[in-house]
């Protein structure tokens, strides 16, 4: 599957972003504050900054390869520095992809849409025409943060501008702006709710250092562990702060920037057992 902006869902997202931006700046802000006033200019500049950052992260999420499994990848079961090896549910063998004809690194999964294995795969997203995986998970997460911010900001400006009744509007302009208000409300309300739910879900995943696939697998693993009288713990959960830095980066000032130099090659991930294996090997 080719990544890019040519798919219908991506085109729909770009059109929605353009419509919301122009209606917010040139109707909501202009009607509430006036574009030539200090509050109007300030709100227009801030909203433009949020919108541009949102679009940039969206573009990065679309164009960034989520991560490919090297053709020569081979898990080393005798490596003492790799205490955790993922195995098949049935048989207990090392995970092997029959379609790609290679072993799967930890947290990698085969995507039926992309027709290949993706490193640290979270899910395939039609809205970015790409998989969300190891290399683009952070920019996808940051995009959702800015998208929620932009939608709520625009919704506040929409409501605020409605409270500012203008007596000087011509009837024709009033009718056309009313249409824009209705369309904007029909876009912004469900978008704000849906994206807020999506952001909340991914905040939960980041705090626990899980992917969407691992969450669903963990529910089954937890049930099986409790059935056998054991306690299940996600093998990549390092604690809240370590999970945050693992996914978003070591510097808090870069958490909302589209930088991913900290992520490594996606073939090995830190676990709570790393220190234990190092101490036992001494």
Q: What is the sign, positive or negative, of the torsion defined by CA atoms of 146, 149, 155, 157?
A: negative
Alpha-carbon distances of 45 from 39, 51, 171, 192, rounded to whole Å? 10, 10, 30, 21
Inter-residue contact 131 to 100 (CB < 8 Å): no
Task: Assess whether 125 carries a catalytic annotation.
Answer: yes
Tokens of residue 57, six digits: 């992260």
As a whole number of angstroms, the distance between CA 148 and CA 192 comes to 6
Length of the chain in terms of residues written? 282
As a whole number of angstroms, the distance between CA 182 and CA 225 comes to 51
Which residue among the candidates 111, 125, 254, 257 is catalytic per the annotation? 125
Q: Which residues belong to the active site?
A: 125
């Amino acid at each position: 599957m080719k990544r890019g902006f040519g798919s219908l869902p991506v085109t729909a997202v770009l059109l929605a972003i353009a419509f919301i931006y122009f209606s917010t700046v040139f109707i909501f802000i202009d009607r509430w504050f006036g574009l030539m006033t200090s509050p109007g200019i300030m709100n227009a500049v801030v909203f433009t900054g949020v919108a541009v950052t949102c679009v940039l992260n969206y573009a990065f999420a679309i164009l960034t390869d989520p991560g490919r499994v090297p053709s020569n990848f081979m898990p080393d079961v005798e490596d003492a520095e790799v205490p955790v090896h993922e195995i098949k549910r049935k048989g207990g063998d090392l995970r092997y992809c029959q379609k790609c004809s290679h072993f799967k690194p930890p947290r990698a999964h085969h995507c039926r849409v992309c027709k290949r294995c993706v490193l640290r795969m979270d899910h395939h997203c039609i809205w970015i025409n790409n998989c969300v995986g190891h290399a683009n998970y952070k920019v996808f997460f940051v995009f959702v943060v800015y998208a929620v911010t932009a939608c709520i900001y625009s919704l506040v400006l929409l409501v605020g501008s409605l409270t500012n009744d203008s007596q000087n509007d011509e009837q024709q302009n009033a009718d056309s702006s009313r249409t824009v208000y209705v369309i904007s409300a029909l876009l912004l309300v469900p978008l704000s709710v849906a994206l807020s739910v999506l952001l909340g879900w991914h905040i939960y995943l980041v705090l626990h250092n899980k992917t969407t696939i691992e969450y669903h697998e963990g529910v089954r693993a937890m049930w099986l562990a409790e059935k056998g009288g054991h306690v299940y713990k996600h093998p990549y959960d390092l604690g809240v702060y370590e999970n945050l830095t693992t996914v978003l980066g070591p510097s808090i000032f870069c958490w909302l920037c589209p930088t991913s130099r900290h992520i490594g090659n996606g073939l090995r991930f830190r676990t709570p057992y790393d220190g234990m294996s190092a101490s036992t090997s001494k």
